[in-house]
Structure 1
Amino acid sequence: MAVCWPALGLSAAIGVWALAVALFDVPEIIAQSPADVLDAFLGVPGYLLGEALTTLIVIVAGFALAVAAGLVIGVAIAASRIVELMFAPLLVAFNAVPKVALAPLLVVWMGFGQQPKVVMALLVCFFPVVLSVAQGLTSTPVELAELARSLRTSRTQTFLRFRFPGALPQIFVGLKVAMPLAAVGAVIGEFSAGDEGLGFVIVQSGANSDTALAFAAVALLGVMSVALFYALVLAERLLLPWVRETTSQR
């Protein structure tokens, strides 16, 4: 039953899309009907799936690096008030910088290839991870802190047994925000520094006025992002079963 509602929502969206294209007689150069987009995908399925795999590798690599760096910096900010005061404003300022503006610089520094695309994905999705880690670690429930003190645990034991497990629900919130952003960053990187990937397909299709193929690439990117997001949701449910049992989630 849980799958039926998303399928119904998708069907409704596709129906509205097809109806709007037909009723308003939208020119093909602007938008294609769902049937035309499907035909474009079926015309070159191997090509699009191969480019999707390239983009998927960039997304996963950038996201993994963002998680690793975010954990380290988030723990440092949560552990030291001085570190927070010194570097938190810099992180906020850096997050405000439009990442598109950095794409040409990444090409100059790293050249064409996978590296600038992975770094772009990292930069776009990095901040939510840091924020969720720091916020989760500084929001340890009072009862857990009192339990740690009563057991006279060391600072390391307190972190591993109480603070970090208690922060995991908040951390997963940040991860679920960061995952779609990693896809956005990967595509931005492919716009600027790529000769492969779904972002490159979108740019080339737009340049060649092949709107149907561009829409097919966008739709495939959306499907891939949804799959990655729900993979994180599944991981959260498997790793943190106690969250659903102790909260009023529907």
Structure 2
Amino acid sequence: MSQATPVKNEVPLGIAETHAPSQGGQTARRGPRMPQGASNAVKAVVGIVGVLALWELVVRLLQLPDYLMVGPISAVEAFFSRPSYFVENAFITVQEALAGFGLGTLLGVVCGAALYYIPAMRHFLYPTLIAIDTIPKVALAPLFIVWFGFGFESKAFVAMAIAFFPLVINTFDGLSSVPNELKELARINKASRWMQMTKIEFIYALPSIFTGAKISISLAVGGAVVGEFIAGSSGLGYVILLANSQVDLPSMFAAFMVLATISLTLFFVINMVATKLLPWRNNVK
């Protein structure tokens, strides 16, 4: 009679690692991990604080005069000396930037899709768009002011002109990168052209489109400021020009820091939306 083979008590690998006894016979327990998003946010804050501290240190060590350079502490003090002044002008700039970004995103995605789906338009217009993109947007700002006046619309259209091109190029590149295998699979399953566009091509192009949106949102803020430089009586661009004329560097750098905060906040908002809409990309560290 053959001997019965003893059955080994096998433990799944994940459980074995978690509850493996440590030296001394005690069970090792891992503490709770910080979520990846929170960890990245902490690292970003630490990096920003480090840069600001280095900036302040350099200004203090070199003992630079106030008319040449000021540190972040002086800029923060200038902001809190009249916070409503900076907040009100920042709100105007944000409105102009968001209006330009929204219009630029809509037109950019539509134009990028048209270039991809209409070959004749791609051959004739794509080189033209590239040529127009090489023109400095500061040179276009006076033209928009002639067309739309000195009000809100001209600044929004300057922001739109700057935010438009990254969306066009990224939308076109995203649609062009769809693998041929997916297109063939759609044809085999007799998917309609509309279903191919909405269920495969645009879904596959979304990461590239959101990459263009992250670039465009910061450019839109800069575009609004450019419009305010040319013809503005309000907004952070006007604040910077006024501070420059008065050699008020603390106020100027306070406006720079507010602009950087706005751009960074809007960037992270778009990144958060992309994380929610593109869960399959969340594993990218």
- TM-score bucket of the superposed structures, by smaller chain: over 0.9
Give yes or no for the alignment of 1:106 onto 2:144: yes
CA distance in 1, matches of 2:215, 2:179: 23
Q: Structure 2 matches for 1:132-171, cutoff 5 A?
A: 132-171=170-209
TM-superposed CA distance for 1:142, in Å, is 2.6
Verify the 8 A CA contact 1:141 1:166 in the aligned structure 2. Answer: no
Unaligned runs of 5+ in 2: 1-38
Shift of 1:2: 2.5
Choose which of 65, 70, 86 in structure 1 pairs with 2:124.
86
Question: In 1, distance between residues paired with 2:174 and 2:43?
Answer: 32
Within 2, Cα distance between the matches of 1:49 and 1:195? Answer: 15
1:4 CA drift (Å): 2.0
Q: What amino acid maps onto 1:243 in structure 2?
A: R
TM (norm. structure 2) is: 0.84
Please list the CA deviations of residues 33-65 of structure 1 after superposition, one character each: whole Å capped at 9, or x if unmatched: 222111100111011011111110111100000
Q: Which has the higher contact order (CA 8 A, sep 6+)?
A: 1
Contact 1:124–1:185 (CA under 8 A) maintained in structure 2: yes
CA distance in 1, matches of 2:255, 2:92: 13
Pair 1:223 & 2:261 matched:
yes
Q: After the TM superposition, which residues 161-240 of structure 1 pair with which residues of structure 2 at under 5 Å, given as runs?
A: 161-240=199-278
Unaligned runs of 5+ in 1: none
- Aligned CA RMSD, in angstroms, stands at 1.1
Percent identical among aligned pairs is 36
Q: How many residues align structurally?
A: 247
Helix, strand or coil at the partner of 1:27: coil
**Residue matched to 1:54:** 92
Report the Cα offset of residue 244 of structure 1.
Answer: 2.8
Amino acid across the alignment from 2:258: L
Q: Aligned pair 1:69/2:107, yes or no? A: yes
In the other structure, the counterpart of 1:37 is 75
> What is the letter of the counterpart of residue 234 of structure 1?
M
Counterpart of 1:47, as a letter, is Y
What amino acid sits opposite 1:26 in the alignment? Answer: L
Larger Rg: 2
The AA in structure 2 aligned to 1:48 is F
- 1: CA distance between counterparts of 2:156 and 2:194? 33
Show the 5 A alignment for 1:115-126: 115-126=153-164
Q: Which amino acid aligns with 2:249?
A: T
TM-score (normalised: structure 1): 0.96
Deviating runs (4+, > 4 A) in structure 1?
A: none
Partners of 2:103 and 2:110 in 1: CA distance: 11
What's the counterpart of residue 17 of structure 2?
Answer: none
The CA deviation at 1:19 is 1.2
Cα distance in 2 for partners of 1:2, 1:162 equals 31
Report which stretch shifted further, 29-38 or 206-215: 29-38
Secondary structure of the 2:282 match is helix
Q: In 1, Cα distance between the equivalents of 2:234 and 2:215?
A: 26
Report deviation, 1:102. 1.4
